[in-house]
Amino acid sequence: MHTSRFPTLGYVQRLYDFLRRHPTWVDGFWAVVLFGISVAGEAARQEDRGTDVPAVVVPVVLLLCLVIALRRRMPERMLLLAVGVGLAQLVLDVPTTPADFAMMVITYTVAANGARWASRLALAMGLCAASLAQLRWPTEQTSGVGNVAIAVLQTVPFALAWVLGDSIRTRRAYFAQLEERAARLEKEREAQAKVAVAAERARIARELHDVVAHNVSVMVVQADGAAYVLDSVPDQAKKALETISTTGRQALAEMRRLLGVLRTGEHQEAGEYVPQPDVGQIEELVAQCRGSGLPVDFKVEGTPRPLPSGVELTAYRIVQEALTNTRKHGGPNAGASVRLVYFDDGLGLLVEDDGKGAPHELYEEGGLDGHGHGLIGMRERVGMVGGTLDAGPRPGGGFRISALLPLKPAH
């Protein structure tokens, strides 16, 4: 319902919002009302008796009304004031007035918002106030049992006020705890999302590096060779250009697969993108390297068997990156060997070359800025499948990369 069609509702809503923002004004209003009722009631009682209102009554009533006015701003201090005024009433023989309602109100307020010690003090005051008042000013023409019953009945509202305030305190604490837990869970979800994004970025970076570095290095070598023999041996140059074309198509196919991973999986499930490379394609990889002019000796030991897809991809990428590094850093006359060994509980990989070897900055301390990303990617891949990797120069010259990947039965 729109308030512009009902101006009165709009005024009421604005008044309500104003009062919520200024609760002390509300308490002050009720304090003034309580002061007027108390003074008028005491004046009427004294008039019936034919006496004047004692001078001490007005200050007592005024202080009790002050407790009402400031109860939310300083609940603990107002509780102490109420206790002091109550004791003064007992000592000065000032009978209870409507202003003593302030003791019940401050009991509730402190139980809901005050410190724990103040809440306990308020409970003790509430349980004792009615009994002390009834003992100090017993009801006339009432037996002792009747006065005890009256004291008990007057104590019940104090106890209920304290219980209500304490339950509100407990409820607020519960909701605060829920809000804190929700905020903490939200932060944890954000942290997990950031970790997941970082892991996905690292995975895509590894894939891009492996695809681009290997295929582009093959294309560069073939292009250099074709340019060198273009005039003298045109048939060999033609073969090199065909290799460049085939390698480029393979790179484009793998790039399309990576782009498909970044989109929805619908087309990928339909088979539009090429599958992940596996151990069975290592032989094709070795043949490609041989075709690009790098002598590679390839052997498989043990009984080949199905492997987990993560191990399959990791093994392929390790061999791919190792042969790419041989082509980049081994020199023109370097040769390489690749060994795959199927153990009962693991797959062993050994890739060696007899070239110059990579600079040790590329394999020590994670590599330099802008360099060594291939070896970093290898370690990340091996770590993700729970394996071990060792990379470094061979004692007799060249470079060696060995890895052990744990096997689990393929389902």
**What mean pLDDT do residues 264-286 have?**
64
pLDDT, one tens digit per residue, over 205-218 is 776 766 666 667 66
Query: What's the pLDDT at 133?
Result: 87
pLDDT number for residue 222: 67
Tokens of 209: 């590096």
**Which residues make up the CATH 3.30.565.10 domain(s) of the chain?**
278-411
Q: Look up the pTM and report it.
A: 0.51
Overall average pLDDT of the 66-73 stretch? 92
Query: What would the DSSP string read from start to end of 146-190?
Result: HHHHHHHHHHHHHHHHHHHHHHHHHHHHHHHHHHHHHHHHHHHHH
pLDDT tens per residue across span 320-358 = 888 888 877 777 788 899 999 998 888 999 999 887 765
Helix ranges (DSSP H) in 70-143? 75-92, 101-113, 116-136
Tens-digit pLDDT profile for residues 94-138: 888 899 999 999 999 999 998 999 999 999 998 898 888 888 888
In degrees and rounded to multiples of 5, residue 396 shows phi and psi of -95, 10
Tell me the average pLDDT across 191-207: 78
Task: Tell me the angle at which helices 75-92 and 116-136 cross, rounded to the nearest 10 degrees.
Answer: 20
In DSSP terms, 389 is beta-bridged to 403
CATH number for region 278-411: 3.30.565.10
Q: What is the pLDDT of residue 374?
A: 67
**AA letter at 310:** G
Average pLDDT score, the chain: 80
Reported as a single tens digit per residue, the pLDDT across 292-301 is 778 899 999 9
